[in-house]
Structure 1
């Protein structure tokens, strides 16, 4: 009897989309400028949209509505939650996490060195944008 060779290993596949939708790539510099010009109101929009897009794409996460409520009432948790969700989204797709719950430490207590929140945003938004590009978003 001859043995049948095992099939070759397959590359990791993207996590199945909950409804096939993908998110939008948002320029990091533009987002920072909009947050400053709008006195932080754009930040609320950013949290809502990014969490809404991740939830629609993967079917996992807190979603936009809850993200907005948390950002309004206990905003300090959002950097931790957002980085954790972006990292999880990437990991489920077989990609390097790049950001995680601990990335939120750049925001707080990182705000004590003033540039911490900027570092957090550049890392988190960059990781999310890289993920959307890997899904074919231009």
Structure 2
């Protein structure tokens, strides 16, 4: 008879082998679902003009941080800030894409997408149209989940 602490070398008829549990488990970070801040589009545009565009870095950092905390995924504020300094053109596509992701994660039609970034190709007013559409969609989303 085998010792009870030592498993048998071969299972007998009718016994099933149970796989060993994994030796390491990578924890996943669940979404926190915090609600973001509603930002006045007019005030943001005014601040961007008065600060010669530097407010946009603050806006990118804040909005991407909030979206990441809400969904549990996304670019995040730190990466958005770095992109804003070194590759600002990319955020014109990434930001509306992430805002759209908020809507699609809830099964809703998104009012903005990465294609919204193409508005920047329209001289002078394209940036304003992009910001009004993107910030408006983000504000509408935050209000729909309880922001005031």
Question: Deviation of residue 134 (structure 1)?
Answer: 0.5
Identify the match of residue 26 of structure 1 among 39, 56, 61: 39
Q: CA RMSD in A?
A: 1.0
> Which residue number in structure 1 is paired with residue 112 of structure 2?
99
Distance 2:50 2:109 in 1: 33
The higher-RCO structure (CA 8 Å, 6+ apart) is 1
Query: Which stretches of structure 1, 4 residues or longer, exceed 4 Å deviation after superposition?
Result: none
> Structure 2: any 5+ residue segments left out of the alignment?
1-29
Total equivalences in the alignment? 119
> Structure 1: any 5+ residue segments left out of the alignment?
1-16
Q: Secondary structure at the match of 1:31?
A: helix
Deviation sequence 1:59-98 (CA, Å, 0-9, x none):
1110000000001001011110001000011111122200
Calculate the TM-score normalised by the size of structure 1: 0.84
Q: How does 1:1-138 map to 2 (within 5 A)?
A: 18-107=31-120, 109-110=121-122, 113-138=123-148
> Which residue number in structure 2 is paired with residue 7 of structure 1?
none
Q: Which has the higher helix share?
A: 1
